[in-house]
């Protein structure tokens, strides 16, 4: 059973990154990994390695500045629609709902703002349901090992990743779920997930057919994502902790055939450190510029075991069986949307504090909580 003791995560301190003598940039590094908060800042550099640095691509803005004003106006319009529906009782968007407003496609948000109150309420609830399940499913103690994972599928993932972390290339990684096991463990929970996925065509999926496919893979009574190799990635213990707290996300960038084995394909993902809100209870009345300034993100953080600085924009390859490539792509796409909402909502380390109209989250069993 997962421990209920709050896990200590290393604090972040400013460090100096140096890939070469001519290019130095500010970076962030954990202050050790032994759990002792001694307060001693230190300057570090990217440790020498025989491996070349991963390719790095520019990342499009997570919060486009030119859209903030319109997004806030649409959020206020939805809040007013709900206020009118509840006969003048003032309604404010909850943290997750506000984060979704900042993240979701603008076309989806414009459509949502024109919907009747009941439709707005159901879609906002669907957003919060998915984010809560996503975060609660990832909050297990890092030492916890889920017992329900298919051993055969785990061996497939070990083989695909050569039993190494796909990010730091270190040995003895943990197999982590992309969409958490707990998100669809139990019939009642799967029904909630299926309903939420159906309500979020336009946010998570471009077409209704994609939403229906996702319900089958992640949400219906025969959900097949639990314990599947295509819903797993291998991560070091440290990255597993950060993955569980939405400190970073993986953005799908494409798929190509594997030249060494035609039964496999290679999915390319972009590593992205998530922004953080200094004030998770920011109101919609704040100016757009002030909201943008309330977010910050580290440039890079050192992965302790490998000594390598992990930077936003770094590109990595993940192998998958070719027949499962579309499933892994959809899992990564859903993860990318939900991890941004979870991070921006401001309560990723304590998801039980997330407010909203969903109601209390009840775990069916601590043994269901796993990666």
pLDDT tens-digit series, residues 125-143: 888 888 887 876 665 433 3
Question: What's residue 226's pLDDT?
Answer: 63
Average pLDDT over residues 245-257: 93
Tell me the per-residue pLDDT of 297-354, one tens digit each, with 9 for 90 and over: 555 677 666 677 888 899 999 999 999 999 999 999 999 998 988 888 875 444 443 4
The residue written with tokens 């009782």 in the block is 89
Question: What's residue 345's pLDDT?
Answer: 80
* DSSP result, 296-319: E--SEEEETTTTEEEETTBEEEEE
Element (H, E) at 319: strand 315-321
Distance separating alpha carbons of residues 191 and 214, to the nearest angstrom: 13
Asked whether the predicted pLDDT for residue 81 surpasses 90, the reply is yes
Query: What are the extents of the domains in the chain?
Result: 12-30+41-368
- Name the least confident of 42-56, 117-131, 162-176, 225-239: 42-56
Extract the tokens encoding 243: 């993955």
Distance separating alpha carbons of residues 65 and 288, to the nearest angstrom: 8
Model pTM?
A: 0.76
Element (H, E) at 326: helix 325-345
| pLDDT band, residue 152 (cuts 50/70/90) | confident
Task: Report yes or no: 234 and 176 within 8 Å, Cβ to Cβ.
Answer: yes
Question: What's residue 160's pLDDT?
Answer: 97
Report which of residues 61 and 362 the model is more confident about: 61
The residue written with tokens 């970076």 in the block is 27
Asked whether the predicted pLDDT for residue 105 surpasses 60, the reply is yes
Cβ burial of 150 (10 Å; 0-12, 13-18, 19+) is middle
Extract the tokens encoding 337: 């949307």
């Amino acid at each position: 059973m997962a421990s209920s003791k709050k896990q200590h995560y290393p604090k972040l301190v400013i460090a100096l990154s140096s890939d070469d003598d001519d290019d130095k940039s500010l970076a962030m590094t954990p202050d050790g990994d032994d759990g002792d908060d001694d307060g001693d800042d230190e300057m570090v550099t990217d440790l020498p390695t025989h491996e070349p640095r991963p390719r790095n691509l520019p990342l499009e803005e997570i919060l486009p500045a030119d859209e903030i004003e319109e997004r806030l106006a649409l959020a206020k319009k939805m809040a007013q629609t709900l206020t009118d529906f509840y006969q003048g009782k003032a309604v404010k968007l909850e943290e997750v709902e506000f984060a979704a407003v900042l993240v979701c496609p603008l076309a989806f948000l414009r459509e949502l703002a024109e919907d009747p109150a009941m439709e707005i309420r159901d879609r906002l609830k669907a957003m919060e349901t998915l984010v809560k399940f996503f975060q609660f499913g990832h909050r297990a103690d890092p030492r916890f090992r889920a017992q329900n994972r298919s051993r055969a599928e785990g061996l497939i993932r070990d083989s695909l990743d050569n039993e190494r972390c796909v990010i730091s290339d270190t040995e003895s990684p943990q197999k982590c779920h992309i969409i958490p096991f707990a998100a669809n463990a139990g019939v009642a929970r799967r029904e909630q997930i299926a309903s939420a996925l159906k309500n979020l065509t336009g946010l998570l999926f471009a077409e209704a057919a994609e939403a229906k496919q996702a319900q089958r893979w992640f949400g219906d009574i025969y959900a097949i994502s639990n314990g599947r190799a295509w819903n797993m990635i291998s991560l070091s213990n440290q990255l597993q902790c950060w993955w569980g707290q939405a400190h970073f996300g993986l953005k799908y960038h494409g798929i190509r055939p594997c030249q060494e084995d035609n039964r496999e394909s290679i999915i390319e993902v972009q590593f992205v450190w998530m922004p953080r809100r200094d004030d998770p209870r920011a109101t919609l009345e704040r100016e757009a510029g002030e909201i943008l300034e309330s977010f910050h993100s580290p440039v890079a953080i050192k992965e302790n075991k490998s000594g390598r600085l992990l930077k936003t924009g770094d590109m990595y390859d993940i192998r998958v069986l070719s027949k499962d490539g579309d499933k892994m792509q959809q899992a990564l796409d859903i993860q990318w949307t939900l991890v941004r909402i979870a991070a921006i909502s401001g309560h990723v380390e304590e998801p039980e504090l997330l407010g909203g109209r969903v109601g209390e989250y009840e775990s069916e069993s601590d043994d269901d909580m796993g990666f």
